[in-house]
Amino acid sequence: QVRLVESGGGLVQPGDSLRLSCTASGGTFSTYAMAWFRQVPGKEREFVAANTWGGRKTYYEYYDDSVKGRFTVSRATSGNAIDLQMHRLRPEDTAVYYCAAGLRRPFEIVHSYDHWGQGIQVTISS
């Protein structure tokens, strides 16, 4: 059974940093796109960042414009885990963050992903 588990969320102040982790089990995900999405109440789930397989041992990173330059997504050498390092956090980054894995394109949309974590709360507040 495929399972994605997020960890590392919490409450931090504006300008702080936070690192989220996601570990996938129940399969081999080295050729999957693995991504982070986030959602606030009353809004659709939105793309944050993705780490996609580019063939052999090559991976590419993609970011939404709202996080570019502040967030970094990285994949473990096993291929079955990704992290999201978040810097200079803002109150508008507050959301439930979801890890996802999938094989379809485009990777910025929810429907390209078959496997999802349960979500983890990130709150930015002073």
Q: Residue 46: is its pLDDT beyond 90? A: yes
pLDDT of residue 2: 94
What average pLDDT score do residues 58-62 get? Answer: 93
Identify the CA nearest to 115 among candidates 96, 98, 102: 102
Q: How far apart are CA 19 and CA 25, in angstroms?
A: 20
Q: Residue 57: is its pLDDT beyond 90? A: no
3-state secondary structure of 61: strand
pLDDT of residue 80: 93
Q: What is the mean pLDDT of the chain?
A: 96
Query: Which position has the token pair 């956090």?
Result: 89
pLDDT of residue 34: 97
pLDDT of residue 110: 97
Are 98 and 38 in contact by the 8 Å Cβ rule? The answer is: yes
Query: Which position has the token pair 């990130």?
Result: 122
pLDDT of residue 125: 97
